[in-house]
Chain A
Amino acid sequence: MDVSSPSKSIFDGPLMLYDAAVLEYKGGGQFVLLGEAPGWFDGYFSTGSDDRLNLGDHSAFLNVFLLDAEQHWSEGEGRLQSGPWTEAGADGRAVTLEASAMELDGRKLLLIAPPTLNLDAVQQLLQSARDEHLSRERERKDVEQREVLLHCIVHDLSNPLSGLKGSLQLLAEDNLVQRDGTELLEIATRQVDRMQTQIRAILDAFRADVANQLPTAGQHAPPDVSESSRAVAEALSPAARLAGLEIVVDAPDEPLLIVGDRDKFQRVLFNLAGNALRYGPSGTSVRVIVQEKNGEVEIAVEDEGPGVPSERIGTLFKRFGKGPDGQTGLGLYFCRITAEHWGGSVGYSPREGGGARFWVRLPRRG
């Protein structure tokens, strides 16, 4: 750029060491460069032969900063600094610059230069402060999740307990015949066994995390969906009877083997059927429907309760997502990670005729 200002020599020398461009404001958005142009200047502003430059036309940032600068020149004292900004110049190269507006002997000056502070050092400093903040936030969240986990554990323990309590309550009724009593005692014993297994699993979970409870395919006997569905229904039947509900299994008589292991699969079913018993109104049925579809086995659990509000459907299966009643839990999350680990899927849809329908689809074995 050809500059013919009589004062140019004042702005050469020391300022050039800072790679700074010094411009004088001439009004109407026009600036004139004083002294030599620094290396970055011509590429950034695409200067031609014209002495006058409209900086706002070249830089969106300066376009805004100059509004403050004009006000500063008319009434301010000292220096107005822009702070660093990064923007591509006319040559397409992104450059980080800082601008300062000041008045000197009645002349309105604008100084533009790469930041004087070492930006990398500033960035590192800021970043470490923010990293620390983020890590504190993560710790807080972990503590919060541990508390939720504790609530879930209590909830998990209460399911078999209610089965046990139901059996014992029914035993206490006078009109039970001996054979029924023996059967109920057997159910109660199995529930106690299940509780002990769960307590061991919970202790393991506390050592690590719920994700570490991921089932390992192939380690255990593959589940027979029909048999497991009936076993879970039987275990929950005392609780169902107490709630005035009937639990019905609609499954093929012959074995239907799927990928996975029996205990984890039954836990999935306990979660789904347990939820259904909680929401199904007295006098209605909870149905466990097993069907084979295109090489997969679908197990659907239906109840005739209020269903899941639409705003909660999206988070049902998420970790610490809210269940149908807005309670936070891990039960449905466990169902999802288990099914997905075995190459299957889970889902929810409203039941035709009202109520909820939760389903699990798992690949059929062999």
Chain B
Amino acid sequence: MIQKKICMIGSPAVGKTSLVRRYVEGVFTDEYLTTIGVKIDRKTLKHGGQDVNLILWDLAGDDAFQPLKTSYLRGMSGYLLVADGTRRSTLEHALQLQQRIEEAHVDVPFVVLLNKHDLLDEWDIDEEFVQALRGRGWDIIESSALVGFGVEEAFAQLTARMLTTAAA
């Protein structure tokens, strides 16, 4: 079976753990517990008729207290760059993280998730900025771990990109 390691990367409290729980267990808990270190989960999905075993590395949110350990990225086939759509600063931070990953010579596919789409009235993301990122060829998906919106799509899209990259 094909195995792919996916890392969940982003600022603290953007919903990385909730997205994984929604995807793997199909549940959402409205309780924020900051992740310490890394949590690893697995999920098998079918893509193009073949089973793909995803190993999901839910990394602690990057900040001054727990900076991203680039050693955790070793062997990663792709990553989800998660931002909180109600906090513009988390998208700016996600861009910095993407740059750090690129500088660490990790050139793998990624998908940007603008999470917490259920809080549309508090949405704080500039649509033109998002369009500009899309113009750079970035995949950007709006998601909500709370209602399950965009979650399956994000993992499926990243898987497709990882497999395409591997085949190229």
Contacts and interface: CB of A to CB of B under 8 A. Distances in A.
Contacts of B69: 83
Contact of A130 (B13, B39, B87): B13
A18 to B, nearest CB: 18
Interface in A71-98: 83-88, 94, 96
B124 A86 contact: no
Interface in B34-90: 34, 36-42, 55, 57, 61, 63, 65-66, 69, 71-72, 74-75, 87, 89
B123 A123 contact: no
Given A64-B74, A67-B74, A130-B34, A318 B40 contact: no
Interface in A124-163: 126-127, 129-130, 133-134, 137, 141
Contact of A123 (B33, B72, B89): B33
Given A63-B75, A123-B33, A86 B127 contact: no
Given A130-B13, A318-B120, A319-B122, A61 B40 contact: yes
Interface residues of A, number: 34
Nearest to A319: B121
Contacts, number: 77
A86 B38 contact: yes
Contacts of B5: 60
A86 B37 contact: yes
A217 to B, nearest CB: 20
A166 to B, nearest CB: 34
A68 interface: yes
Contacts of B126: 322
Contacts of A130: 12-13, 34, 61, 63, 65
B123 A127 contact: no
A311 B34 contact: no
A96 B37 CA distance: 10
A137 B87 contact: yes
A129 B12 CA distance: 11
Interface residues of B, number: 35
A61 B42 CA distance: 12
A98 to B, nearest CB: 8
Given A130-B13, A130-B63, A319-B122, A83 B37 contact: yes
A134 B122 CA distance: 15
A119 interface: yes
Contacts of A64: 71-72, 74-75
- Identify the interface centre among B12, B33, B74, B127: most chain A CB within 10 Å of its CB: B127
B128 interface: yes
B131 A311 contact: yes
A68 B127 contact: no
A82 B131 CA distance: 39
Given A64-B75, A130-B12, A137-B89, A311 B128 contact: yes
A321 B123 CA distance: 8
- Identify the interface centre among B33, B69, B71, B121: most chain A CB within 10 Å of its CB: B121
A315 interface: yes
B76 to A, nearest CB: 9
A68 B127 CA distance: 42
* 6 shortest interchain CB distances as A-B pairs: A84-B37, A87-B40, A86-B39, A319-B121, A83-B37, A127-B34
Interface of A: 60-61, 63-64, 67-68, 83-88, 94, 96, 119, 122-123, 126-127, 129-130, 133-134, 137, 141, 311-312, 314-315, 318-319, 321-322, 326
9 contacts: A61-B38, A64-B72, A83-B69, A85-B39, A86-B37, A96-B37, A122-B36, A129-B65, A318-B120
Given A86-B40, A126-B34, A318-B123, 15 more contacts: A60-B5, A60-B40, A64-B71, A64-B74, A88-B41, A122-B36, A123-B33, A127-B34, A134-B13, A137-B89, A311-B127, A311-B128, A315-B127, A318-B121, A319-B122
